[in-house]
């Protein structure tokens, strides 16, 4: 495996960046289609602006979150802060950034936040699946050593290979990729059900948190909050708070016929 797909002179196309581009294009197509199906009063240009804004602020949030948890390193290596092609984007920081950008957008266009959240949920989890393939080719977001038959030995120049040279490790990025694809299939099918606003978005948060909680046990590069893995803490909070909201509001119930 190699993080670089094509290198022609000064032009370098990396799998990491390519997966983000694919995620944006596919997500844009899915969101545009669902906006039309639901009759949400925004134009195709508005959808493009929404996606680019959410992705841009999401990446900024993901990097800020990761750098903050690893300030001992980045405080001494400022030039590495913008080098996202070396890995180091935390999904929970990305969610915070993307949600804030989305909230600002829907406020400007007078769209209910949870309605737009439902539209974007399948694209979000599918984009994360693409991103995990980029992590695999990049050799980051990796696991701990294991003797399982599907273990992977990463190249010595990769982040995983440098930490565990010539050692078979859990391909945790592939674990999460498969889980994300399964969640996408479920959400994509459920999107046609006339449930209350917020059902798909909240289901995405809960299901992803459950999967991430399990996969994080096998991660070698987990961000930490004291003795606890940050992903475990955040996942538990999301499952409790968002799951509790779903139950309280009974979001799985059929919405009124005149709702957006």
Q: For 219, which DSSP code?
A: B
Assigned domain for 192 exists = yes
Distance CA 177, CA 136 (A): 10
Distance CA 179, CA 149 (A): 19
Question: For residue 32, what pLDDT is reported?
Answer: 96
The residue range of the domain holding 32 is 4-249
Structurally, the chain folds into a number of domains equal to: 1
Please report the sign of the dihedral spanned by the C-alpha atoms of residue 132, residue 138, residue 142, residue 145: positive
Q: Hunting for tokens 């959240």 — which residue is that?
A: 117
Token digits for 112? 């209910």
Q: In terms of Cα–Cα distance, which of 226, 247, 246, 244 is closest to 236?
A: 244
Mean pLDDT of 21-44: 95
Does residue 60 have a pLDDT over 70? yes
pLDDT band at 14 (very low <50, low <70, confident <90, very high): confident
Assigned domain for 30 exists = yes
Does residue 42 have a pLDDT over 50? yes
Instruction: Spell out the long-range contacts of 149-152 with Cβ–Cβ below 8 A and sequence spacing 24 or more.
Output: none
Assigned domain for 58 exists = yes
Question: For residue 170, what pLDDT is reported?
Answer: 98
Assigned domain for 256 exists = no
**Model pTM above 0.85:** yes
Distance CA 157, CA 105 (A): 41
Assigned domain for 39 exists = yes
Question: For residue 22, what pLDDT is reported?
Answer: 95
Assigned domain for 103 exists = yes
Assigned domain for 180 exists = yes
Kindly report, residue by residue over 132-191, the tens digit of the pLDDT: 999 999 999 999 999 999 999 999 989 999 999 999 999 999 999 999 999 999 999 999
Question: For residue 94, what pLDDT is reported?
Answer: 94
Q: Are 177 and 133 in contact (CB under 8 A)?
A: yes
Kindly report, residue by residue over 90-132, the tens digit of the pLDDT: 999 999 999 999 999 999 999 999 999 999 999 999 999 999 9
Does residue 43 have a pLDDT over 90? yes
Assigned domain for 259 exists = no
pLDDT band at 256 (very low <50, low <70, confident <90, very high): low
**Residue 143's beta-bridge partner residues?**
219
Question: For residue 255, what pLDDT is reported?
Answer: 65
Q: Is 92 exposed, middle or buried (0-12, 13-18, 19+ CB in 10 A)?
A: buried
């Amino acid at each position: 495996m190699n993080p670089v797909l094509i290198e022609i002179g000064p032009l370098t196309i990396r799998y990491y960046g390519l997966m983000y581009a694919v995620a944006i294009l596919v997500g844009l197509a899915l969101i545009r289609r669902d906006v039309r199906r639901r009759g949400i009063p925004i134009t195709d240009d508005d959808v493009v602006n929404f996606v680019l804004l959410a992705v841009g602020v999401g990446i900024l949030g993901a990097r800020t979150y990761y750098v903050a948890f690893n300030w001992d390193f980045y405080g001494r290596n400022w030039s590495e802060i913008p080098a996202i092609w070396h890995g180091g984007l935390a999904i929970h920081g990305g969610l915070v950034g993307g949600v804030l950008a989305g909230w600002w957008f829907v406020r400007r266009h007078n769209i209910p936040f949870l309605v737009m959240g439902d539209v974007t949920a399948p694209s979000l989890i599918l984009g994360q699946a693409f991103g995990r393939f980029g992590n695999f080719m990049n050799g980051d977001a990796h696991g701990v050593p294991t003797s399982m038959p599907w273990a992977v030995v990463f190249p010595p120049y990769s982040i995983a290979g440098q930490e565990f040279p010539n050692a078979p490790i859990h391909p945790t990025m592939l674990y999460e990729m498969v889980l994300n694809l399964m969640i996408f299939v479920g959400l994509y099918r459920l999107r046609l059900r006339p449930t209350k606003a917020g059902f798909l978005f909240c289901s995405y948060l809960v299901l992803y948190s459950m999967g991430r909680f399990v996969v994080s046990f096998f991660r070698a590069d987990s961000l930490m909050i004291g003795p606890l893995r940050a992903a475990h803490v955040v996942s538990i909070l999301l499952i409790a708070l968002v799951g509790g909201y779903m139950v309280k509001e009974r979001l799985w119930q059929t919405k009124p016929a005149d709702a957006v």
